[in-house]
Amino acid sequence: MEARERARRSAQQGAADPALRVALLGAGVVGSQVARLLTSQRDDLAARAGAALELVGVAVRDVSVPRDGVDPALLTTDAEGLVERADLVVEVMGGIEPARSLLLRAIAAGASVVTANKALLAEDGPTLYAAADDAGVDLYFEAAVAGAIPLVRPVRESLAGDRIRRVLGVVNGTTNYVLDQMATEGLDLDQAVKQAQALGYAEADPTADVEGFDAAAKAAILASLAFHTRVPLEQVHREGITAVTADDVAWAARTGHVVKLLAIAESTDAGVSVRVHPALVPTSHPLAGVHGAFNAVFVEAEAAGELMFYGRGAGGAPTASAVLGDLVSAARHRVLGGRGPVESSYADLPLLPASAALTRYQVRLDVADRPGVLAQVAHALAEHEVSIEAVRQAPTASGGAASRAVAPASGTDPLALAHLVITTHEATDAALAATVAALAELDSVTRVVSVLRVEGA
Ligand SMILES: NC(=O)C1=CN([C@@H]2O[C@H](COP(=O)(O)OP(=O)(O)OC[C@H]3O[C@@H](n4cnc5c(N)ncnc54)[C@H](O)[C@@H]3O)[C@@H](O)[C@H]2O)C=CC1
Ligand SMILES: N[C@@H](CC=O)C(=O)O
Ligand code: NA
């Protein structure tokens, strides 16, 4: 008898059994916490799901490695066999293959699936959705975006009656932790990444975090849900944090900002644009107060207005919390009938290049400290129709002297350098790039030190 039917009849008859068989794929940072909670919360989970959730196997690469809190008898290297004898499959192994094949196999065998794998969902979500739809089973993935924070469910269910215009936030715990440590402890990027790995925040290959791939995957998933439009990963403009220097972080503080890796998805009349990049955020903005591996996401919807979601975006137990929430939902459907949400991509909005988005920028330049330089710089910006919001000047980029509102250059020492910090009004990527190229050509500009977007003002 099909598992769902057995469970429904059993629940109707008030019987405690049959249990739903849960297969766990992966027993790393997240998987080990899922296994622990399945055991320690067994009774509550059974009461909430309407049937016991019995862990019937844990697929790992090496069964001889002990896993805290996991009965060694449950460990197996036969992931394919395991998914075929489960009612519910939790995939927390990560990567594209064999995760995709195993999920498709599980779905084909009639299991509902829960995954934390944003890389896979961003790469091939529609295939998984279609397979789950065909098989009449659930595909849940709350843990894949912003860890413990309920965000997928609010966006695809609670806000299904509204029109989302913008999603903006910090969705990668590792890079937020790293930028925070650079700002507060003076760590360099490599040291901070090692700490994030030790704390269980980073992906198996932390390049996915620092180069923005993880945030881009999450942004693609969120944008697809928010705008009812498939947003392939390749359409997400992606910049990581490897080019962010300690000097950028220090100058951010001097100018009243912090550096954050932001994911921004916007829907306008022209279409949808999605981008991930480091940006300066004013210290007065709520996102500036998001520290460590925490995530925070603003969702702007037409009727609801602005909503903010905040919490732990990474780490074993927080992520396992989201996985178990999904597992209970899928289990309830097994017991009582019903289905979780299916893919909604009917709007099929045009996808725009991120370069279409207008942003403010902060440009830092080392320039000759002589009369007329400021006028040359201002002229180069004006020629490209990039207007200046503010200019500050300091003796050098790293000299430590407090910057001051712009003052006339003294011009007595032809070799003296000054550091200019220019904040622009909104401009396109293309206009800004052309401006920066023109600035770099000026004799009086010795170096374009950095160019960062400014968001959230
Ligand atoms: N660590 C975190 O904070 C979060 C992780 N995630 C996602 O959860 C998933 C798991 O992440 P972690 O637990 O951090 O990774 P992890 O690297 O700690 O654990 C993955 C486990 O799966 C096992 N595994 C990988 N390929 C396998 C295979 N072919 N056969 C059997 N076992 C295999 C590995 O040996 C490892 O034990 C990933 O998709 C990740 O993106 C999502 C949200 C937060
Ligand atoms: N590596 C990810 C883990 C959660 O998704 C992150 O740092 O946010
Ligand atoms: Na989440």
Beta bridge partners of 367: 418, 445
Q: Is 201 in the pocket of ligand 2 (CB under 6 A)?
A: yes
List alpha helices for 362-411, DSSP H: 373-383
Index of the ligand 2 atom closest to the CA of residue 175 = 7
CA of 93 to the centre of ligand 1 (A): 4
DSSP classification of residue 14: T
Question: Does 80 share its domain with 55?
Answer: yes
Domain harbouring 124, CATH code: 3.40.50.720
Q: Are 169 and 235 in contact (CB under 8 A)?
A: no
Q: Which atom of ligand 2 is nearest to the CA of 174?
A: 7
Same domain, 327 and 283: no
239 Cβ below 6 A of ligand 2? no
SS3 of 352-395: CCHHHCCEEEEEEEEEECCCCHHHHHHHHHHHCCCCEEEEEEEC
Number of domains observed in the structure of the chain: 3
The CATH code of the domain that includes 188 is 3.30.360.10
| Predicted pLDDT at 67 | 87
The verdict on 139 and 165 lying in the same domain is no
- pLDDT score, position 69: 79
Q: What is the CA radius of gyration of the chain?
A: 25
199 and 259 together in one domain: yes
- Please check whether residues 53 and 112 belong to one and the same domain: yes
286 lies in some domain? yes
Does residue 193 sit in the same domain as residue 285? yes
- Secondary structure (DSSP) of 403-433: PEE------S-TT-EEEEEEEE-SB-HHHHH
Which pLDDT belongs to residue 406? 42
Domain that holds residue 387: 357-454
Ligand 2 pocket test target in 172, 261, 297 with most atoms within 8 Å of CB: 172
260 catalytic? Reply is no
Do 51 and 79 lie in one domain? The reply is yes
Q: What distance in angstroms lies between residue 418's CA and the mean position of ligand 2's atoms?
A: 40
Q: How far apart are CA 440 and CA 447, in angstroms?
A: 7
Check whether residue 8 and residue 70 sit in a common domain.
yes
pLDDT by residue for the chain (457 residues), tens only, comes to 455 555 555 555 544 548 999 999 999 999 999 999 999 999 999 999 999 999 999 999 999 998 887 899 999 999 999 999 999 999 999 999 999 999 999 999 999 999 999 999 999 999 999 999 999 999 999 999 999 999 999 999 999 999 999 999 999 999 999 999 999 999 999 999 999 999 999 999 999 999 999 999 999 999 999 999 999 999 999 999 999 999 999 999 999 999 999 999 999 999 999 999 999 999 999 999 999 999 999 999 999 999 999 999 999 999 999 999 999 999 999 999 999 999 999 999 999 987 778 999 999 999 998 889 999 999 999 999 999 999 998 866 444 433 444 444 444 455 678 999 999 999 998 999 999 999 999 999 999 999 999 998 7
CATH of the domain at 391: 3.30.70.260
Tell me, yes or no, whether 352 lies in a domain. Answer: no
Say whether 260 counts as a known binding-site residue: no
For residue 307, tell me if it sits in a domain: yes
Report how far residue 14's alpha carbon sits from residue 353's, in angstroms, rounded to the nearest whole number: 56
Say if 342 falls within a structural domain: no
Residue 345 covered by a domain:
no
* Predicted pLDDT at 258: 97
Q: Is the beta carbon of 369 within 6 A of some atom in ligand 2?
A: no
> Among the options 67, 100, 156, 218, which is catalytic?
218
Q: Of all protein residues, whose CA lies closest to atom 18 belonging to ligand 1?
A: 28
**Are the C-beta atoms of residues 199 and 29 closer than 8 Å to each other?**
no
Question: Distance, CA 209 to ligand 2 centroid (Å)?
Answer: 7
Whether 346 is covered by a domain: the verdict is no
Contact 237, 355 (CB under 8 A): yes
* Closest atom, ligand 2, to C-alpha of 319: 4
197 and 96 belong to one structural domain: no
The C-alpha atoms of residue 293 and residue 39 are separated, in whole angstroms, by: 27
Q: Give residue 417's pLDDT.
A: 87
Q: Tell me phi and psi for residue 195, to 5 degrees.
A: -65, -45
